[in-house]
Structure 1
Amino acid sequence: MQDKKVNSTWILIFTSLGFFMSMMDSMIVTTATTAIRNDFQISLSSLQWSLNAYNITIAAVLLVGVSLGEKIGRKKIYLIGIFIFTVASVLCALSNNITSLIIFRIIQGIGASVMTPMSMAILTHALPESERGKALGIWSGVGGLALIIGPALGGVIVAILTWQWIFWINVPIGLLTIYFAQRVLPESKGKNDKLSLIDFILITISSAGIIWSLSEINSNAIKYIPIGVGLVSILLGILFINRQKHSITPMIPLDLFQSKIFTSGNIATFLLYASMFGIVFFLPQFFIAVQQVNPLTAGLQLLPWTGTLVIVAPFAGSAVDKYGEKIIATLGLLFQGVGYLLIALILNITDSYLAMVLPLIIAGMGLSMAGPALQKCVLSSVKPIYIGKASGIYNVFRLLGGAVGTTFSVIIFYVYGDISSITTFADGFYAVILCAGVISLLGIVFSMNLKK
């Protein structure tokens, strides 16, 4: 019994490390962008793709990687993903211009695209259902740790060393993870379906095109280009879905969506992260533009919000095991929504940071509770043979929720405010956080469909 417990602990550690690296590399680059721009002497429009290339690639190829994991082996694809990610990190550190950096960030994204869903699938498959909620809560907390320390660590590295070291630090972590994960993690597979190259191309272009158009719609002066790309991508997505309906071995088994629990869990996930990512994008800017603090202070002021991911998520996971997904997910969405609405209420009176601390904690608790609950809900609603694909679908909804939430928040911001003054910025942010609260509360409509 003790050996089984120890083995479960090591499985949790080495699946969480892959998730940590994937999340960390998205966050750590944010505080190195100025150093990269100065080093390469590039514009902001070029610089943004050092971030976007990574995130868009993850979403675009995620389901392809999941399908390979189901066929070849989840552990094998997980290790290959970490290897690609580690090699690409070296190439990113050696880049001498923005073009090469973007190309190698795409390669990094290819590796990272399987690290999150495969780690989740391996962990879920390896542990009994009675332990999954707690384990997924800890797994989420590790991802939250990357969210917390990523920007601060990036700032420290750039200040002491050079921006290249934000990529060099991935190398020893990646190599150690590969070595120990190979020894510790169990192998598992899903359905041995035939892989379709046409489906791969359709889902990759469709996902990348939709997310690119969402990213560009607010920054591109020629609006018809991103709109046109978005429409074509949607049509390709419809064609992909139609092919899935008639495929004997679909990449996305549409039958899974006949489950009300599976469908509701994914939609609630979409709304949870759409609400959260809009605030992630604007809150640090609000601290800097309105409260006139420096970037390091702005990062520290996020801690009452992001810090709850590490503190609350493991306990929330245990609560899911004890009380069920429905109540914990519903409370989580409620807390996040109420937290944001309280901040909006406070902003009508004062922009004092101290007045925002408690609402930030409440909102962070909500995210920390709903995340593990919705993960377990989605993965537990399918047969074990579909866990890998369910994990991939869950993460696509999470990423699309983040992309849509960020884009929607920018649109709302410019409808009600702008960046020309402190007052107009505060007006725009007020509208953004109000809408984010409503979006989170809307998720309750779907969380009420989950099992008790």
Structure 2
Amino acid sequence: MAAPPSTTRWTFLVTTLAAFMVSLDNLVVTTALPAIRTALDADLADLEWTVNAYTLTFGVLLLTGASLGERFGRRRILGLGIGIFTIASAMAALAPDVGTLIAARAVQGLGGAMILPLTLTMLSAAVRPERRGAALGIWGAVSGLGVAIGPLVGGAIVDGWAWQWIFWLNVPVGLILLPIALTRLAPARGIAQRLDLPGLGLITTGLFGIVWGLVRGNAVGWGSAEVLGSLAVGVALTVAFGIWEARTAHPMLPLRLFRNRGFAASNVAAMLFSFGMFGSIFLLAQFLQTVQGFGPFEAGLRMLPWTAMPMLVAPLAGPLSDRIGGRPLLVVGLLLQAAGLAWLAGTMSPDTSYASQWPAFVISGIGMALFFVPIANVVLGSVPTNDTGVASGTNNAIREVGGVFGVAVLAAVFSHQGGYASAQAYSDGTSVATWVGAGVVLAGAIAAAFVPGLRRPAAGPVAPEPASEPAAPEPVVREPEPAPV
């Protein structure tokens, strides 16, 4: 049963604004990285953790955040998530050093993981079925807008005030949303789910170990005990997580879903896409400032052809996806994204002008849009209806983890090939790293080709002609048998 109209309106307001706030923090920090590096005397590894501390905790804890809401009440956990996110934003704004900033970003990710999955669940439950599609469409558009304008908002705030204000911006929003969420939203809960705490511990520690080794490799040596030990322990714990999830009765990540070719292929493509995209944006946003000399706002504005293109292309790509299926759009989108990154990598130099780059940003943006439009339908359409919630959460988590590895690996390539010493060094490192990103996205296009094509309803057999009884004085017409569905 749908919620009363007043509750529905409040639910729509809280869930869309909360989703926007969380989505914005995915990329809002990218154009502020040069200012943070200068203000807090941060090195490349510090900047990586400033981004990855948020995306790693956010991605790993998404499924747990959804489970907490089902077990302890969606309204309660959503309110707790908003409170944690707000406090962590204030901590980040007040951070006196980069270590405190990284810790605050990790806590932000925890809050975001409790917010985002529940906003979708609560909005879906509050809206009448005939209006649900439109409401969820607006929710998705607002979330996408948060990602798209993140670099622009971050650049504008750094230019107009200071980098700390990209975090202060969340505080009044959180303070307004929290009391509304706790008093106006329905206190619904779903089916209580047992938390997979061993699985959570294994995957969190395992991914942290792998990322730590990748981030520290260039600084202390790839053959050092610290790096080799960190990578070995991380891989071992990640493998142990897979073994545990295959055997436990209540897994946080049901591995049986990956037996479906469409689900497995689309998630591999999603991870490789995020790897190339987030890793490249991490470096290219700084290239616009460090090498080309643009201010933070100017850099964010010049990235709009890439990050905001999905808002223009999605309305056209959506109906096309319904007609031809998701696979062609996924493959073409990833090919365009790879082509755009290859263009940028091939023209990267200290003398590169923005005029030679913006077509590549447009191509990448169109590719991003063609990927984003069908991916959710492809993932959800490949699993039974009762698994759609965990399938959606799994896909979001895999994309976030892909972004974490993208930033870590491409930054390691950048550091090995170049650095911040000069414009030439930065260009050299960014060029090689972006080539790697393009190759990874191209591999994602190959994975997407294994997604099953559109299945059209099969036509039923032709109904038999009405037969007549020859012995009867007047023929008795029999009704044709109905064609099977």
Instruction: Identify whether the pair has TM-score above 0.5, normalized to the shorter chain.
Output: yes
- Tell me what 1:299 maps to: 300
Cα 1:48–1:358 shift into 2, 3 Å: closer
SS at 1:113's partner residue?
helix
- Tell me what 1:409 maps to: 410
Task: Count residues with an aligned counterpart.
Answer: 448
Contact kept in structure 1, 2:60 and 2:203, CA below 8 Å: yes
Query: What is the CA distance between 1:288 and its match in structure 2?
Result: 3.3
Query: What is the CA distance between 1:252 and its match in structure 2?
Result: 1.4
d(CA) in 2 for partners of 1:340, 1:59: 24
SS at 2:249's partner residue?
coil
CA RMSD of aligned residues (A): 3.8
- Tell me what 2:438 maps to: 437
Query: What is the CA distance between 1:239 and its match in structure 2?
Result: 1.7
Cα 1:9–1:314 shift into 2, 3 Å: farther
Q: Does structure 1 residue 104 correspond to structure 2 residue 126?
A: no
- Tell me what 1:28 maps to: 28
Q: Does structure 1 residue 375 correspond to structure 2 residue 376?
A: yes
Q: For structure 1, which segment, 52-61 or 229-238, has the greater mean C-alpha deviation from structure 2 after superposition?
A: 52-61
d(CA) in 1 for partners of 2:186, 2:453: 30
- Tell me what 1:142 maps to: 142
1:251-290 to structure 2, matched below 5 A, reads 251-290=252-291
Q: Does structure 1 residue 355 correspond to structure 2 residue 356?
A: yes
SS at 2:392's partner residue?
helix
d(CA) in 2 for partners of 1:42, 1:422: 18
Unaligned runs of 5+ in 1: none
Cα 1:32–1:417 shift into 2, 3 Å: closer
- Tell me what 2:483 maps to: none
d(CA) in 2 for partners of 1:368, 1:5: 33
- Tell me what 2:214 maps to: 214
Identity of aligned residues (%): 35
Larger relative contact order (Cα-Cα within 8 Å, sequence gap ≥ 6): 1
Cα 1:298–1:187 shift into 2, 3 Å: same
Q: For structure 1, which segment, 105-114 or 72-81, has the greater mean C-alpha deviation from structure 2 after superposition?
A: 72-81
Contact kept in structure 2, 1:133 and 1:372, CA below 8 Å: no
Query: What is the CA distance between 1:289 and its match in structure 2?
Result: 4.3
d(CA) in 2 for partners of 1:285, 1:91: 24
* 1:249-275 residue CA offsets vs partner (Å, 9 max, x unmatched): 222111111111111111010111112
d(CA) in 2 for partners of 1:319, 1:128: 26
Query: What is the CA distance between 1:431 and its match in structure 2?
Result: 3.0
- Tell me what 1:61 maps to: 61
What's the TM-score, normalizing by structure 2?
0.78
More helix by share: 1
SS at 1:312's partner residue?
helix
Cα 1:14–1:402 shift into 2, 3 Å: same
- Tell me what 1:244 maps to: 245
Contact kept in structure 1, 2:55 and 2:109, CA below 8 Å: yes
- Tell me what 1:18 maps to: 18
Contact kept in structure 2, 1:134 and 1:317, CA below 8 Å: no
Cα 1:394–1:70 shift into 2, 3 Å: farther
Contact kept in structure 2, 1:377 and 1:450, CA below 8 Å: no
* 1:123-178 residue CA offsets vs partner (Å, 9 max, x unmatched): 66778999988877655543443344434433444454454433332123224444
Q: For structure 1, which segment, 383-392 or 369-378, has the greater mean C-alpha deviation from structure 2 after superposition?
A: 383-392
d(CA) in 2 for partners of 1:425, 1:43: 14
Counterpart code for 1:89:
S
Q: For structure 1, which segment, 367-376 or 166-175, has the greater mean C-alpha deviation from structure 2 after superposition?
A: 166-175
Query: What is the CA distance between 1:198 and its match in structure 2?
Result: 2.4
d(CA) in 2 for partners of 1:43, 1:89: 22
Query: What is the CA distance between 1:13 and its match in structure 2?
Result: 5.7
d(CA) in 1 for partners of 2:299, 2:249: 52
Counterpart code for 1:64:
T
Q: Does structure 1 residue 235 correspond to structure 2 residue 250?
A: no
Q: For structure 1, which segment, 359-368 or 24-33, has the greater mean C-alpha deviation from structure 2 after superposition?
A: 24-33
d(CA) in 2 for partners of 1:92, 1:365: 34
Cα 1:269–1:26 shift into 2, 3 Å: closer
Contact kept in structure 1, 2:26 and 2:55, CA below 8 Å: yes
Contact kept in structure 2, 1:138 and 1:313, CA below 8 Å: no
d(CA) in 2 for partners of 1:451, 1:8: 37
Unaligned runs of 5+ in 2: 455-485
Cα 1:18–1:422 shift into 2, 3 Å: same
1:189-228 to structure 2, matched below 5 A, reads 189=190, 192-221=192-221, 223-228=224-229
d(CA) in 2 for partners of 1:37, 1:444: 35
Q: Which of 1 and 2 has greater Rg? A: 2
Contact kept in structure 2, 1:60 and 1:205, CA below 8 Å: no
Cα 1:411–1:34 shift into 2, 3 Å: closer
Q: Does structure 1 residue 119 correspond to structure 2 residue 157?
A: no
* 1:167-200 residue CA offsets vs partner (Å, 9 max, x unmatched): 332123224444555646795635x432243233
Counterpart code for 2:203:
I
Counterpart code for 1:325:
G
* 1:274-293 residue CA offsets vs partner (Å, 9 max, x unmatched): 12122202212333344343
d(CA) in 2 for partners of 1:185, 1:326: 38
Cα 1:377–1:176 shift into 2, 3 Å: farther
Query: What is the CA distance between 1:415 and its match in structure 2?
Result: 5.8
Query: What is the CA distance between 1:362 and its match in structure 2?
Result: 1.5
Counterpart code for 2:308:
G
d(CA) in 2 for partners of 1:95, 1:351: 35
Query: What is the CA distance between 1:326 and its match in structure 2?
Result: 1.8
Counterpart code for 2:199:
D
- Tell me what 1:165 maps to: 165
SS at 1:217's partner residue?
helix
Counterpart code for 1:283:
L
